[in-house]
Structure 1
C-alpha cells in the first residue's frame, strides 16, 4: 500500500489536504463492532476513511456507528506514514467539535469542516466590549481567557504526549468526553476550541474560495465511497467476519485494491494526455483538474483475466508523469 501511494505521489500537484468521512458497511448483528445505524438503517460499522486531495486513501479505521466521527479525525493524520503528508483536514458536521478544534490547533493541523447549521453555534467575542456592526447577532458570549491561560501548560503536556506517541487523540478525546462537564481541563479544551472555531467560521462565511475548496475536497471522499461500493461486490458488500481484526483487514485489503485501480487509472489517463500533447493538442491544468481516477466503465469485474507477461509496460516513473507545460498554462 505504501509503495502504491509513493508512486502515486509523483503525479499531480495537490497534496496538502485530506478529507475524512465515514461509510457504513454491513456486518452481522452479534459482534463487538455491530450497532444499529439510525440514519442508514440496519446493523453495521463505519469505515472512517482519510482520503488525500490527490484521490488516494491514506488511512482507514473501523469504528462503531454510534461514535461521533470527530473523535477519530486526527488519528488518521498521525498514523499516516506515507509520502503524502497533508497538514489540513476537511470533514462534515460529524468531523468537528470544540475539543477537536482545540486539539488540532495545538497539534499544528488545520481543521476545515463543512458544518451544517453553523448559525446555531456559539461565536465568542474576544472581550466584552467588542462590538461588530453587521454580524453582532452571531456572537453569544465572551472568551474566558483566564481558563485557557490557567490550563495552558496542562493542554501542552497532553499535546506533547500525543506527539511522543504515548497516547492517540481518539483515546484522549474519549476520556475527556466521558469526564464530568465540570472537569476544568475539558472546559479549557472546549473554550480554546470555541475560539479557534469562531476564527474559522468568520473566515468560512466571508471567503467563497475557501468554501469551494472545502466542498471540493469533501466531495472527493464521498466519490471514494462510491468507488469502494463498486469494487466491493462480493457477498453483496457485507463483511462476514466477526473478528474485529479480520474486519479491519477486509477494509485494508479493499483500500489496497482501490489504490491499485486508482494508480492504473492514473497511468492510463496520463498516457492518453501524453499522446494528445504529442499530437499538438493544448491541455492546461484546468482540464486536468476536471479529471478523476475513479472511472469504472472500462474495468472488468467478472470473467477471465488474461495476463501477457511478454508485454512489458512503460516504467511507472515515466508513464505517470504529465508534460510540465500543462501546469504552466
Structure 2
C-alpha cells in the first residue's frame, strides 16, 4: 500500500489523512436498458393480495408455519385467504375495513380479527420467512446476484405518533415527534433474513451481530456490510472472532486513523497516516476473557448488544473493552487500507448498500397507509406489524425473481441478447406492476402452467 501511495495511486494529505477518489457511476450499457425495459413490460400485473396468495400456493409450509396460539391443532377452512388479508393490512398499514368482504366467509371482520389475534405472531412470521429465503436461494437469477454469504444491515425509521415507551426522539428523522427503527438484515440475493425493532435510532453496531444470530433462514454470512453509523472498533474485533468479515462503508475516510503494531516500522508515505498504536500487551492480558465473551455470544448465553454495553461504562470502554478495541483496530486498519486501495472492494460494499436502499424504497411503497406512521404502542405489536411488512417484501422479492427467471428463459429462447453482466444488475425490488391501493381481493390464481402467463411486450398497449 505504501508503494502504491509513493507512486501517486493513493493520496495522503500533508496532515496524514488518506484520500480515495470518489467512485464514478458505471454507465448502464444499452443492452441492460433494453433488458430491464423488456422485463418490466413482460411482468404480469396483479394486486398485492393476489401476489401473497400465489406465493402461499407455491409453499404449503408457509401457511403451516402459522399455528394457533393455544396449540397446533386442526386448521380452519380457507386459512390462507384470511391470512393473506391480515398480512396485507399489516404490511400496507391499513385498517381491517380495506380487506374485509362481508359476503366472503374467510374475509369477514370477525374472521380476520380471530386469525390476527390467534395466528399472527413474530415467531410464526420467522418460520414462514424461512420458506421464502430457501425458495429465493434456489433460483437461477438469484444466484447471479450472489451466493447468500454477504449480508448488509440497515434501519428503516418510522414515526410513532402514539404514546409509547418504545419510541425515542430524533429531530433529524422524526421532527418534533418520536419514533422507532426496524433493523433488517438482507443477503446478496435480496432476501431479508432477519429483522428487529429498536427504540429511536441507536447505532446499528449494537444490534448488527444479534441479527446474524437470529436469522430466519439462509446461509451464515461470511461478510457483514453496514453504513458508517454502525462503525465500532469493538465490533470489528467481535465479528473477527465470530468468523465474519466486517466491512462498514466509510463516508468520512479522511477522519479514519490507521493503527500500527510496530512503532519503529517505516511505512513511507503512510507513516503519518498510521498515527495510532495497537497495544498487544493489553490484548494478551485480557485474551482469556475476550474468548469467553465471544463464546458466550456465539452460544447465545448473552446477546451481542448486551455484551457491547458491558464493555462500556458511562460511555467509556472498560479495560476489557479497551483490549477488545485494540484487537479490533488491527482489522479496522486492514479494512481501511483495502477500502482505499481496491476499487472493486469499495464497489462491492456500495452494491450491497444500494441493494439495501432499494429494499427500503419498496418498503415505503408498500407501507403507505396512515401516512407511513407506525401506530403500535407496544413492542410486541411493532414486531408483529413490521415482521409482516418484512415478510410481504420477501414475498414480492421471491415473486419478482421467479418471474424474472421465466422472462429471461423466454427471452433467451426468442434470441433476445441476455448477458450475465446485465442480469447481475437487475433488481428484485421492482414494484410498478403491483397494485397496493384500493379494495383488495385474495383470489387463488389458476396456475395451469405453474405461473401466470407473461405479457407480450410487442402487443402491449400503454395502460
TM-score computed with the length of structure 1 as normaliser: 0.91
Q: 1:67 aligns with which of 202, 222, 225?
A: 202
Distance 1:310 1:123 in 2: 61
1:305 has 2:441 as partner? yes
Q: Which has the larger radius of gyration?
A: 2
Look up the SS of the partner of 1:4 in the other structure.
Answer: helix
Q: Does the aligned pair in 2 maintain the 1:23–1:225 contact within 8 Å?
A: yes
Which residue matches 1:160? 295
1:96 has 2:224 as partner? no
Distance 2:192 2:201 in 1: 23
Q: Greater RCO between the two (CA within 8 Å, min separation 6)?
A: 2
Deviating runs (4+, > 6 A) in structure 1?
none
Q: Does the aligned pair in 1 maintain the 2:132–2:398 contact within 8 Å?
A: yes
Q: 2:174 aligns with which of 32, 41, 52?
A: 41
1:7 has 2:159 as partner? no
Look up the SS of the partner of 2:180 in the other structure.
Answer: strand
1:142 has 2:270 as partner? no
Q: Does the aligned pair in 1 maintain the 2:181–2:201 contact within 8 Å?
A: no
Structure 1 alignment gaps of length 5 or more: 320-329
Q: How does 1:73-112 map to 2 (within 5 A)?
A: 73-112=208-247
Alpha-carbon deviation of 1:172?
Answer: 0.5
Q: Does the aligned pair in 1 maintain the 2:162–2:376 contact within 8 Å?
A: no
Distance 2:219 2:179 in 1: 30
Q: Does the aligned pair in 1 maintain the 2:168–2:180 contact within 8 Å?
A: yes
Alpha-carbon deviation of 1:23?
Answer: 1.4
Q: 2:155 aligns with which of 2, 14, 22?
A: 22
1:217 has 2:352 as partner? yes
Deviations 1:86-109 (A, max 9, x none): 211101111210111110111111
Which residue matches 2:10? none
Alpha-carbon deviation of 1:183?
Answer: 2.3
Alpha-carbon deviation of 1:66?
Answer: 4.2
Q: Give the aligned length.
A: 317
Distance 2:301 2:328 in 1: 22
Deviations 1:263-288 (A, max 9, x none): 11111211111111112233221121
Structure 1 pair 208–177 and aligned structure 2 pair: CA distance change class (3 A): same
1:264 has 2:392 as partner? no
Structure 2 alignment gaps of length 5 or more: 1-128, 455-463
RMSD over aligned Cα, in angstroms? 1.9
Structure 1 pair 243–310 and aligned structure 2 pair: CA distance change class (3 A): same
Distance 2:246 2:416 in 1: 40
Q: Does the aligned pair in 2 maintain the 1:28–1:34 contact within 8 Å?
A: no
Q: How does 1:178-327 map to 2 (within 5 A)?
A: 178=313, 181=316, 183-303=318-438, 304-305=440-441, 307=443, 309-314=445-450
Q: Does the aligned pair in 1 maintain the 2:158–2:374 contact within 8 Å?
A: yes
